[in-house]
Structure 1
Amino acid sequence: MSSLLVHLGSVLADVLAPSPTGRPGNGGYGGLNNPPPQAPDGLSVIAEQWISWAKWGCLLCGALGFLVCGAMMTVGRRNRSHLAGEGAAGIPWTIAGLSLGALAVPLAIEIMSASGSGG
């Protein structure tokens, strides 16, 4: 049992050892590298179109979210202060959703770059 743990420890040390080139994915155990992302042939145009459609949908939902928040605040102004409060509380969520939609691609690229996989 202890020899198995020693072997496992040496294998993990080999896999997690820093790269002599300073780049992540030094080959590790079995020579497996960490290549950057690469779109299959012809798929990058379709993927960009889907992302642009999703961003447009996010923009539409954000605009509708602000309209609904404003309507709730307007209707709840008199004798329905709870509704006005709910509308006001929805504004930060709408801003957060729009911000995340706007930063989705740059954030994903940055996370992949930080892991050594991004291009």
Structure 2
Amino acid sequence: MQLSETGRQRGAHLMLISAVLDMAQAVPVPNPRPLAPPGLDKPINTILAWAKWGVIVAGVAGLFICGAQMAIGRKNRSSFAADGASGIPWVLGGLSLAATASGIVGMFLR
């Protein structure tokens, strides 16, 4: 049984595509590390340090506010105390996200 001309062309095309894909997989893809533009290292590090400091201040303030709500709501205001207690996981979640932000972003830039 003979293949038609169209079948032979399809087979040749598939072999060519397979060969090209094999060669493409053999070529290493360059993956340079992130590099700051010249002159922006220090200003960006200063901005990131200020942001980190701001997150720490906001986290401490958030925990103080949650503690105050719980202390004030202890007597006859149980929903106020519950709001304070339910805010603690949100504050800790925000602090955890800020602490792991560089690792999370670094994971996507590999």
TM-score by length of 1: 0.67
Instruction: Measure how far apart 1:38 and its partner are.
Output: 2.0
Rounded Cα–Cα distance in structure 2 between residues aligned with 1:38 and 1:19: 27
Runs of 4+ in 1 over 3 A off after TM superposition: 33-36
Quick one: percent identity of the two aligned structures? 40
Rounded Cα–Cα distance in structure 2 between residues aligned with 1:87 and 1:46: 38
Structure 2 CA distance for partners of 1:35 and 1:83, relative to 1, 3 Å? same
In structure 1, runs of 5+ residues without a counterpart are 1-13, 27-32, 114-119
In structure 2, runs of 5+ residues without a counterpart are 1-19
- Based on CA coordinates, which of the two structures has the bigger radius of gyration? 2
- Code of the aligned partner of 1:53: W
Secondary structure, aligned partner of 1:19: helix
TM-score by length of 2: 0.72
Comparing 46-55 and 104-113, the one that deviates more: 104-113
Rounded Cα–Cα distance in structure 2 between residues aligned with 1:99 and 1:82: 26
* Aligned residue number for residue 82 of structure 2: 85
Could you say which structure has the higher helix fraction? 2
Matches within 5 A, 1:69-108: 69-108=66-105
Matches within 5 A, 1:42-81: 42-81=39-78
- Cα deviation, 1:46-77, whole Å, max 9, x if unaligned, reads 11111111010000000000000000000000
- Code of the aligned partner of 1:41: P
Instruction: Measure how far apart 1:34 and its partner are.
Output: 5.8
Rounded Cα–Cα distance in structure 2 between residues aligned with 1:92 and 1:112: 29
Secondary structure, aligned partner of 1:54: helix
Structure 2 CA distance for partners of 1:100 and 1:20, relative to 1, 3 Å? same
